[in-house]
Structure 1
Amino acid sequence: MGRAGAHMGIAGICTKAIRFCCDRRGVAAVEFAFIVPVLLIMYFMTMEASQAIETSKKVSRIGSMVADLVTQQQTITAADLDAIMQIGNSTLRPYNRSTPEIIITAIQVTDETTPRVLVVWSRKMVSGAFSAAAAKNSVTNVPPALAIKGTFLIRVESNLAYQPIITWSVDSEKRLGLSSAFDSLSMGETYYLRPRRSPTIPCGTC
């Protein structure tokens, strides 16, 4: 009787082990637990990439729009330039994790034998604050194709340190690990345009 009971006990254990190995009811849940993190990472990376591309386009649009507005003026003031740069800043919405840097520079290429490229006036917006940029009559650079004697140019530089949402924090705490490598992505564009309504665009208050 003891041997029979032991035999039946072993057989029962074997039967349960076989049933356990053949039981597939929990496989879907286990697979789901493994794949969900991967799907979430792919979702957030796709979302972040699309937002970064859209923001980069907006940064380029800032330079184009600001240059277009400035070159339509016959004369301008520092207050006008500040207002135009603020309009450019607003085009980034709804992105608001960092502010763009915008620099507007009026450039005169002299008509000398060896032309010099000089700053006539310059204004910038950095971290939402407005101030003068490059000093008047300081030497600057333009692409060789634009260095034509006696010409006047408006240059607009727009730059942004893009902060991905996956690394951004309200309290600005230092982040470690992989996310810190993507903490700030540089985006920027430079546009040159000529005045449309007059040979030059003076700024009396710059």
Structure 2
Amino acid sequence: MTDERMQHGRGLLMQIRRLWSDRSGVGAVEFALIAPLLLMIYITVFELTIGLSISKRVTRAAGTIADLVTQQQESVSDSFLSSMEHVAQSIFVPYGGSTTLIKITGIALDAAANPKVAWSWDESGGKPHTTGNTITIPDKMKVANTFIVHAEVSVPHRLLMFMPGLIPSEMRSITISRDYYYRSRSGKDIACTDC
């Protein structure tokens, strides 16, 4: 019986050595370990690319809106400002942008370069800033007796595939916001007739 046990032990030891030296499945095991990491990196890069593209479009939308408003000679109207929603939506094609939030504010600077709200408008027809109130603007924009248009654009962005199930749903939505300040092209104040 001891001879059988020794042969059985040797056979078991030989099988363990053969299994240890067998390299036929190493590539598959390595791929199985690395593939999830590579997939996560790919998805993250995809998400960053989409996010950066949307961020560029938000910046372009804010700049375009401020530029269009400052090109007006003497006044703008509520209907003209409402058309800025269509301008923003056209910039966001093909990403959508139907929930774009837009605020446009006319800012008059007096002889002492104090900025005061002349008028303000948002896409819901409200007034985000109270007329006559002092407003904060960048120091480089403070030039006496000038008029500035401040355009703010915000777009909610939902991350498409970034670690679904691993992060809470409230962290999968971010808001990308940009703003632009432009001086009036004519050098005169731009009134809003019905804001």
Coarse TM-score class (shorter-chain normalised): 0.7 to 0.9
Could you say which residue in structure 1 is the equivalent of 2:41? 42
Matches of 2:136 and 2:48 in 1, distance apart?
A: 34
Instruction: Give the counterpart of 2:115 among 98, 117, 121.
Output: 117
2:57 corresponds to:
58
| 1:199 and 2:188 correspond | yes
Give the one of 126, 129, 137 matched to 2:132.
Answer: 137
Can you list the C-alpha shifts for 1:114-171, whole angstroms capped at 9, x where unaligned? Answer: 454222211113xxx44332222232222233233321111112233443223599xx
Rounded Cα–Cα distance in structure 2 between residues aligned with 1:184 and 1:98:
16
Give runs of aligned pairs for residues 1-206 of structure 1, distance below 5 A: 4-74=3-73, 75-96=75-96, 99-111=99-111, 114-125=112-123, 129-166=124-161, 178=167, 182-197=171-186, 199-206=188-195
CA contact (8 A) 1:98 1:162 kept: no
For 2:99 and 2:184, how far apart are their aligned partners in 1?
28
Aligned-residue offset at 1:195: 2.2
Q: Aligned-pair distance for 1:110?
A: 2.2
Output the TM-score relative to the length of structure 1.
0.78
1:33 Cα shift?
1.2
Which runs of 5 or more structure 2 residues have no equivalent in the other structure? none
Matched residue of 1:131: which SS? coil
- 1:137 is aligned with what amino acid? G
Q: Is the CA contact (8 Å cut-off) linking 1:89 and 1:99 kept in structure 2?
A: no
SS at match of 2:52: helix
- Percent identity, aligned pairs only, is 28
Structure 1 distance, partners of 2:150, 2:87, is: 17
Contact 1:167 1:180 (8 Å CA) reproduced? no
Q: How far apart, in 2, do the equivalents of 1:81 and 1:90 lie?
A: 15
Gaps in structure 1 of 5+ consecutive residues: 170-174
Please give the root-mean-square deviation of Cα atoms over the aligned residues, in Å: 2.8
With 25-34 and 5-14 compared, the bigger mean Cα shift is at 5-14
